[in-house]
Amino acid sequence: MSVHSRIHSPALADKLMTAEEAAELIPSGATIGMSGFTGAGYPKAVPQALAKRIEAEHARGRPFKVSVWTGASTAPELDGALAKADGIEMRLPYQSDPTCRERINAGQMEYIDIHLSHVAQHVWFGFLGKLDVAVVEVVGIHADGSLIPSTSIGNNKTWLDQADKIIIEVNTRQDARLAGMHDVYYGTQIPPHRKPIPILSAGDRIGEASLRCDPSKVIAVVETDAPDRNSAFAAPDATSEAIAGHIIDFLGHEVKKGRLPASLLPLQSGVGNVANAVMAGLQTSPFEEMTAYTEVLQDGMLNLLRSGKLAFASATALSLSPAGNEAFERDLSFYRDRIVLRPQEISNHPEVIRRLGVIAMNGLIEADIYGNVNSTHIGGTRIMNGIGGSGDFARNAYLSFFMTPSTAKHGTISAIVPMVTHVDHTEHDVQVIVTEQGLADLRGLSPKKRAGQIIANCAHPSFRPALSAYYDAAMHRSPGLHTPHLMSEAFDWIPNWKAAQG
Amino acid sequence: MSVHSRIHSPALADKLMTAEEAAELIPSGATIGMSGFTGAGYPKAVPQALAKRIEAEHARGRPFKVSVWTGASTAPELDGALAKADGIEMRLPYQSDPTCRERINAGQMEYIDIHLSHVAQHVWFGFLGKLDVAVVEVVGIHADGSLIPSTSIGNNKTWLDQADKIIIEVNTRQDARLAGMHDVYYGTQIPPHRKPIPILSAGDRIGEASLRCDPSKVIAVVETDAPDRNSAFAAPDATSEAIAGHIIDFLGHEVKKGRLPASLLPLQSGVGNVANAVMAGLQTSPFEEMTAYTEVLQDGMLNLLRSGKLAFASATALSLSPAGNEAFERDLSFYRDRIVLRPQEISNHPEVIRRLGVIAMNGLIEADIYGNVNSTHIGGTRIMNGIGGSGDFARNAYLSFFMTPSTAKHGTISAIVPMVTHVDHTEHDVQVIVTEQGLADLRGLSPKKRAGQIIANCAHPSFRPALSAYYDAAMHRSPGLHTPHLMSEAFDWIPNWKAAQG
């Protein structure tokens, strides 16, 4: 399919050029707002061309770095290529690229981990400085210059509004029938001029189907023809099925107690295999007419839509496996009536999450016996990915689950520890912790009662005696007994990660 | 003044009895929702009578305990009396009473520390169990049985709605002219039936002036004639004046940069002497026509209203010194046009705080060099008071300050530490840290850059070398350099609090 069938603005068609030519227009030191959210809708060509240019400059002994803002994680063609070229000065707000991670943890790259609902507004407020260039993937360009988003929206509205210059990638591999699936809300303001966000249910449309774009800011249009990252999901294993089972039992119990409606409340589900398995588990659950108000729509949710268990899903990005993407494109018109993609300041908006009463389900790296959760750091010092939207959802949810296998590294490391080495979600924000062992309902419990539940229900049996021994010793020797701790021993559980990797 | 002039419902006047008689109606094991928020508007007689009854029962060898829910902290007549009688099984969501604190930290009393905006809805959702009795102080009773709130609203609407039985204290010492100052919003719902909270500016009135009350649930009406706790504030000292000065300079700088309007955005200010000093400092600032959207209105804000610098203040409680209260009552009709008291689920509502773009200013116990804040725990194990509303405001604010003197205990303890011993506000939620030494603007900084700012600008000079030495050592020896730490040394700074008290 020719790119010209996707570009209905002659003025913008005139700006077609190669990715290499476009990359030449980005100066060293620039701050670039890129599209992309969990491997969907990121620019595929310009970042790679920019990485080559940076490598060439470095080879000539010339410094060249840029700062990169995105929606969330992207792919090897973006984060990977630029990090390998040693081309990123500063990165925000979320990443999951192995090379990026390595450079951040080696102290070679600055990284700022921000709640995803905070990013756009901090840019509008002027808190993060000037945005020079936006590089945004789209499905096509309307005659008036407005843009049809692709498989994610993320912060694209903000990048297009705020950047001095705009580079557009028109990806002909993305399905043109995505047009109409998006809802871009232009009613946001900065204080004191803000009004309520008028979403009353997950399916409400409150905006426009395309992204406004000032054609005079567009400096390049680049054609691409490449798929999204589309990583495969692991098939649900016994561990993730057990976690899903505990959550579904608990939701059923809450319905029976009258604390949840029979169709539940809008679901939010984090990224990854366990989250995907929970969605798969809901396929055979008794709940009907469910809805989702979430960040990312993975295969599990797509299947729930297909089977009719899920009536509607709101997200900011698709994050499908190759097979999931095929199924999606096969039935795109079916899904377009049942999915809306929104800017991430809306998909993750505390106001909307709290109003709708979202049921939040997010992963964790470690939880402590008092219910504090570490979502981001290995051993307290090395960043894994970032907090993403987990804080937006957990704090404002009706009911907030954090879930994890009870052990890592073939059973050698416990996910339940005496004291987490980094806190992303405090004891005030964690309601339910779930492992394959069981579920700890922390609502209305003091720290000491939480410890009892977490050790008994969530910790792996092989670690329970040691956790109980720590707690008992703390009850005897802790200076205070509100949150009993032996601070000099609290971190004795930190694994030797080098050995653990081996 | 006779209590009869305050009770216009004959049916409720018939239920007048003594506090002792009313206390007899509360059974052991009851969960009681009491009025009261930071020493204002708490019941003065029934809790003391209940404490006496509990002591008598204990003397006879009979167990007797109750669970106590409030708005926030109360006073010796409530928390103090019941804790001294060893009568509290479980307490939430915030306390500041010395006897309570001692019992909690001795492991003799359960305490659950909850975001103040979460309390009411967790009760509506059924997450905290059944509320048996409400004990609520009012100024008077209308003919239809509705209640005129006194100097705080807190969770009173929720307690009156949810409790099986209601005991009302009519306090004739509270000024009858408080009637009309309150705005009780009855438009809240539980999901999926929630609608936007229609507040667009701090002064908007969206509810009713009095509290609805089902007269058939009222089991007792008790007359009292006693003042609120009304603790005096310390006069601003050089330290708090310096903190106030840094904040005011910074706000001026933000106005100049176009990041804040000339009249700022609605102010929120935590409780205590430093917060009060900041408000005093604003008296001579260049800002005019300010507003406040806060939890508690202290003397400093009252003076700003009087001078006209502050045009309007929204809160859930007054917390005035004896002199402040005198000034307030002298000019009550002036203040009634400029103050609105709301339920705490509205004063602290994330939706409204984010929409209005509140400037949040809260205290801390310790902050670490990476910007994590401990607001609640001494040495990681002993609770001080609780998180209160600081999380509601800090997370959702336009701009969030945390402030503290740089040292405690006559300079022997640093408020800036390598790693906080408990986290209430994560690195993702802390924008500006201020001590008398200076201000660290953490917006858009990676953890390592934050450390540089916090050590250089906020730490006391006598602790800077040791903090820098820790950071430098961590840069050499930390396994990861995103958040460099030496976990085995991170808590070496924990003071010997017994020695420090001496």
Cβ B196–A197 below 8 Å, yes or no? yes
Instruction: Among B197, B398, B448, select the one facing A125 at the smallest CB separation.
Output: B398
The pLDDT of residue A498: 66
CB contact under 8 A, A107 and B448: yes
Ordered alpha helix ranges (H), A332-389: 332-336, 344-347, 350-356
DSSP letters for A404-471: --SEETTTTEESEESS-SS-SB-TTS--EEEETTEEEE-TT--HHHHHHHHHHHTS-TTTHHHHHHHH
Q: Is B311 on the interface with A (CB under 8 A)?
A: no
What angle (nearest 5°) sits at the alpha carbon of residue A117, between those of residues A106 and A147? 100
Tens-digit pLDDT profile for residues B387-407: 999 999 999 999 999 999 999
Q: Which member of B259, B265, B377 has the closest CB to residue A483?
A: B377
Closest residue to A354, CB basis, from B351, B387, B444: B351
A497 touches chain B (CB under 8 A): yes
Chain A residues closer than 8 Å to B110 by CB: 446, 448-449
| A 105-124: CB under 8 A from B | 105-107, 110-115, 118, 122
Mean pLDDT, chain B, rounded, equals: 96
Are A105 and B481 a contacting pair at CB < 8 A?
yes
Report residue A497's pLDDT band, with 50, 70 and 90 as the boundaries.
low
Strand B31-34 and strand B66-69: the pairing is: parallel
Could you give the CA distance from residue A9 to residue B226 in angstroms, rounded to a whole number? Answer: 75
Distance of residue A328 Cα from the nearest chain B Cα, in angstroms: 29
A357 touches chain B (CB under 8 A): yes
- Which of B265, B381, B444 has the CB atom closest to A192's CB atom? B265
* Selection from A297, A296, A269, A258 nearest residue A358 by Cα: A269
Q: State the binding site of A.
A: 270-274, 365, 385, 389, 409
Q: What is the tens place of the pLDDT at every residue in B425-454? A: 999 999 999 999 999 999 999 999 999 999
The whole-number pLDDT of residue A502 equals 47
pLDDT confidence of A501, banded at 50, 70, 90?
A: low
Closest chain A residue to the Cα of B123, Cα to Cα: A444
- pLDDT given at position A499: 66
Q: Summarize the annotated binding site of A for CoA as residue ranges.
A: 270-274, 365, 385, 389, 409
> Could you tell me if A491 lies within 8 Å of chain B, comparing CB atoms?
yes
Q: What average pLDDT does range B160-188 have in this prediction?
A: 98
| B367: confidence class by pLDDT, cuts 50, 70, 90 | very high
Q: Which of residues 256-275 of A touch B (CB under 8 A)?
A: 257-259, 261, 265-266
Question: Mean pLDDT over residues B29-49, rounded?
Answer: 97
- Facing residue for A113 by CB, picked from B423, B428, B479: B428
Instruction: Report DSSP letters for B334-385, one per residue.
Output: HHHTTEEE-BHHHHT-HHHHHHHT-EEEEE-SEEETTS-EESSEETTTEE-S
Cα within 13 Å of Cα(A104), Cβ side? 32
Question: Do the beta carbons of residue A359 and residue A254 sit within 8 Å?
Answer: no
Quote the pTM value.
Answer: 0.98
Give the three-class secondary structure for A391: helix
Q: Which among A266, A282, A273 is positioned nearest to A315, based on CA atoms?
A: A266
Residue B63 CA, distance from chain mean position: 32
Q: Measured between beta carbons, which residues in chain B are less than 8 angstroms from residue A445?
A: 112
Residue A58 has pLDDT above 80, yes or no: yes
Order of strands, sheet of A366-368, starting from the edge strand that comes earlier in the sequence:
A373-374, A366-368, A416-417
Which residues on B lie below 8 Å from A487 (Cβ)? 379-381, 421, 491, 494
Q: Which of B77, B137, B295, B436 is catalytic?
A: B295
The DSSP bridge partners found for residue A268 are A360
Residues of A in contact with B351 (CB under 8 A): 196, 350-351, 354-355
CA B322 to chain A, closest CA, distance in angstroms equals: 33
Mean pLDDT of B456-460: 98
Q: What is the mean pLDDT of chain A?
A: 96
* Chain A residue numbers touching B104 (CB-CB < 8 A): 481-482
Q: How much is the pLDDT for A402?
A: 98
Question: In a mutagenesis test of the A interface, which of B483, B492, B496, B498 is the best target, namely the one with the most A β-carbons within 10 Å?
Answer: B483
B182 HSE (CA, 13 A, CB side):
31
- Known binding positions of B: 270-274, 365, 385, 389, 409
State what percent of residues in chain B have pLDDT above 70. 99
Q: What are A28-51's pLDDT values in tens digits?
A: 999 999 999 999 999 999 999 999
Cβ(A142)–Cβ(A210) below 8 Å: yes
ipTM of the complex: 0.97
CB-closest option in A191, A351, A480 to B398: A191
| Neighboring chain B residues of A201 at a CB cutoff of 8 Å | 192
Can you read off the two tokens belonging to residue A55?
A: 């490598």
Beta bridge partners, B171, equal: B224
Minimal-distance CA residue of chain A relative to B192: A356
Interface test with B, best of A396, A419, A428, A494 (most B CBs within 10 A): A428
In chain B, positions 177-206, which contact chain A (CB-CB < 8 Å)? 190-192, 194-198, 200-201
Tokens (6 digits) for B255: 């106005």
Question: Cα angle vertex A198, ends A271, B188, to 5°?
Answer: 95
Binding site feature residues of B for CoA: 270-274, 365, 385, 389, 409
- Whether residue B242 is predicted with pLDDT greater than 90 in this model: the reply is yes
Q: How many residues does chain A have?
A: 502
Q: Residue A365, Cβ neighbours under 10 Å: how many?
A: 21
- B145-183 burial: b if 16+ Cβ within 10 Å, else e: bbbbbbbbbbbbbbbbbbbebbbbbbbbebbeebeebbb
Residue of B357, B379, B428 lying closest to A192 (CB–CB): B357
Contacts of B499 (CB under 8 A, 6+ apart): none
- Whether B387 and A428 lie within 8 Å, measured CB to CB: yes
CB A491 within 8 A of CB A421: yes
- CA nearest B349 in A: which residue? A351
Option in B113, B191, B197 nearest A356 (CB): B191
Distance from CA of A430 to the nearest CA of B (A): 11
Tell me which residues of chain B, numbers 146 to 175, contact chain A at a CB-CB cutoff of 8 Å: none
Closest chain A residue to the Cα of B129, Cα to Cα: A444
CA dihedral A101, A102, A108, A114 (to 10 degrees): 10
Q: Which residues have a Cβ under 8 Å from the Cβ of B235 and sit 6 or more positions away? A: none
- CA–CA gap between residue A227 and residue A229 (Å, rounded): 7
* Residue A483 to residue B126, Cβ atoms within 8 A: no
CB-based contact, A395 to chain B, within 8 Å:
yes
Mean pLDDT over A250-262 rounds to 98
A103, pLDDT greater than 60: yes
The distance of Cα A488 from the centroid of its chain, to the nearest Å, equals: 35
Chain A residues whose beta carbon lies within 8 Å of the beta carbon of residue B382: 479-480, 482
Helix (H, G, I), strand (E, B) or coil at B256: helix
Partnered with residue B37 across adjacent β-strands are: B40
Confidence grade of residue A500 (pLDDT, cut at 50, 70, 90): low
Which residues, in sequence order, are CB contacts of B177 under 8 Å at separation 6+? B332, B333, B336
Chain A residues within 8 A of B265 when measuring between CB atoms: 191-192
How many C-alpha atoms does B165 have within 13 Å on its Cβ side? 15
Is A427 known to be catalytic? Answer: no
* Residue A79: predicted pLDDT: 97
**Looking at chain B, how many residues does it have?**
502
Which residue of A201, A354, A424 is in closest CB contact with B426?
A424
Measured between CA atoms, the residue of chain B closest to residue A445 is B112
Please give the interface size between A and B, counted as residue pairs whose CB atoms are below 8 Å apart.
Answer: 230
Give the gap in angstroms from C-alpha B12 to the nearest C-alpha of chain A: 34
Among all residues of chain A, which has the CA nearest to that of B353?
A351
Residue B273, pLDDT score: 84
Q: Which residues pair with A133 in a beta bridge?
A: A32, A165
Cα–Cα distances in Å, from A93 out to A8, A110, A116, A196, A295? 33, 11, 7, 25, 14
Window A:411-430, CB contacts with B under 8 Å: 421-429
Of the residues A295, A345, A366, A436, only one is catalytic, namely A295
